[in-house]
Amino acid sequence: MVKGNSRYSKEFRERAVRMFKEVRPDHSSQWSAIDAVASKLGCNNETLRRWLIQAETDQGIRPGITTDERNRIKKLERENRELKRANEILRLASAYFAKASKRPSSKEIIAFVDCHREQYGVELICKVLPIASSLYHEHKRREQYVKLVPERVRQDEYLSGKIITIWEENRSVYGVRKVWTTRPEQAEAQPLDLVNRNLTVLRPNQLWVADFTFVATWTGVVYTAFVIDVFSRMIIGWKVSSTMQTDLVLDALEQALWRRQVKGNLIHHSDRGSQYLSIRYIEHLAENGVVPSVGSVGSSHDNAMAETIICLYKTEVINREGPWKKLEAVELATMDWVDWFNNRRLMEPIGDIPPAVFEQLYYNRQQGVMAMQA
């Protein structure tokens, strides 16, 4: 169930304006073009109209306050508010740690952040104390992980992989003693495979999978990233870009988070691509209470559902409607296909109904159960 939220990302607003300009010549009126784009991106028609007016103001076509000027005013107002809130945080921290004879430990500081995060936000508290916000998010990510996976299972999964790697790197001749001796004392922490090819879920926003692919155009290769809800196979985030850097997958994730507004009790599964293992991506998951999971190196079976959706994307739109002249053409076609896929494509694994209908049936059942219990 998509929840409304007025805080659209800058990238999303720019994408909507750009796509409106692409489709405008194909429509008899501005309003019909607005309706075509807004309905497929999931935003309100009037909202998109305001973005178009603001874009014209920024370009000097219309009079008014530009986005840069508006942002400067907002920045000054925000700095004033943050200064006031920082003073409040310092007073609270002074009282909280008054009995401490030395600098508070990281554990104590994290406890303080937990007490006041709802009122002041994690980033501002960490900035004032000071403590690295990444330290706090890593601590909370580990807490979530511990809740989901027993300690013995985590150790076995980690050590079994290291044992095989060490054994293969040493000509497959080492026995138990030498394998253990060769094992490094510390290893770089990376997410484990929490899914293990088990895609059985009971509700939306329990497990998301993510992947991206490439599309050849006359002006060069472009890349399309997807985020998919395993429960219904619905595509909840996507992005087309000329590069396959972290921003590609991060923008797709941001759209999914905006659409679903989830906080916790969610696993995000991907392959071991550098984009998905980047610090920015992992931290963004942690900030939103999402637990990362990654498959094995070089195994497409570990992310089979995402691979399947990408295969359908290639078959039903890219290969069928190509060749492609430029990124904008791929972007428009992807928008149309995602809208059709989510709302009209019949999916055999969920009973030959579209993903959106499957999810709505779930929420209808939940409301019925709640009504019976009331």
Residues 64-73 have pLDDT tens digits of 787 788 788 8
| 207-364 CATH | 3.30.420.10
**CB of 275 within 8 A of CB of 252?**
no
CA torsion, points 319, 325, 327, 333, in degrees to nearest 10?
Answer: -50
HSE-up (13 A, CA, CB side) for residue 22: 18
Q: What size, in residues, is the chain?
A: 374
CA distances from 316 to 269, 309, 310, 321, 345 (A): 24, 10, 10, 8, 11
What are the sequence ranges of the domains in the chain?
Answer: 10-58, 67-131, 150-182, 207-364
**Using one digit for the tens of pLDDT, what is the confidence trace for 89-146?**
888 888 888 776 677 777 888 888 888 888 888 888 888 887 787 888 888 777 776 6
Q: In terms of pLDDT, which residue wins out, 86 or 177?
A: 86
Whole-number pLDDT of residue 93: 85
Task: Please check whether the domain covering 10-58 is classified as CATH 1.10.10.10.
Answer: yes
Query: For residue 202, with 0-12 CB atoms within 10 Å meaning exposed, 13-18 middle and 19 or more buried, which class applies?
Result: exposed
What is residue 178's predicted lDDT score, i.e. its pLDDT?
47
Q: Do domains 10-58 and 207-364 have the same CATH topology?
A: no
* 321 sits in which H/E element: helix 319-321
Q: What token pair was written down for 322? A: 């190509």
pLDDT score recorded for residue 216: 94
Write the pLDDT tens digit of every residue in 250-298: 999 999 998 898 877 899 999 888 899 888 898 889 888 899 998 876 5
Sequence letter at residue 101: S
